[in-house]
Amino acid sequence: MKELCRHGVRLRIFCDEQLVVGNRGARRQRVEATTPGGQCLVVHVALFVTVEGGQITRVEEYMDSKELDALGAALAADLKVASIN
């Protein structure tokens, strides 16, 4: 997602649900991405974190591939239009 910011995409993150049990945490969130051309898309994300000894030892992140593909296509279209102008 950080790479998107390099191309002018604005990101906003909203936490929908968070759960912590023992040394594991889970979070469902939505990432609202606005392309340089103004198109707004939402990508749903699930994060799973493991903590041991007070430090994060594992992070797993899953995103909806169809939503990511749509965001990539929208960004590519915006960048193509920008390069033509």
Instruction: Round to whole Å and give the CA distance between 6 and 21.
Output: 36
Percent of the chain with pLDDT over 70: 86
Q: Which fold has domain 2-84?
A: Nuclear Transport Factor 2; Chain: A, (3.10.450)
If you average pLDDT over residues 24-49, what whole number do you get?
93
Q: What is the 3-state secondary structure (H, E, C) of the chain?
A: CHHHHHCCCEEEEEEEEEEEECCEEEEEEEEEEECCCCCEEEEEEEEEEEEECCEEEEEEEEECHHHHHHHHHHHHHHHHHHHHC
6, pLDDT greater than 80: no
pLDDT, one tens digit per residue, over 42-78 is 999 999 999 999 999 999 999 999 998 988 888 888 8
**Strand 55-63 versus strand 40-52 pairing type:** antiparallel
State the chain's mean pLDDT as an integer: 88
Residue 4 or residue 48, greater confidence: 48
- Which tokens sit at 26? 């889970």
Query: How much is the pLDDT for 35?
Result: 87
Domain map of the chain by residue range?
A: 2-84
Query: How much is the pLDDT for 84?
Result: 56
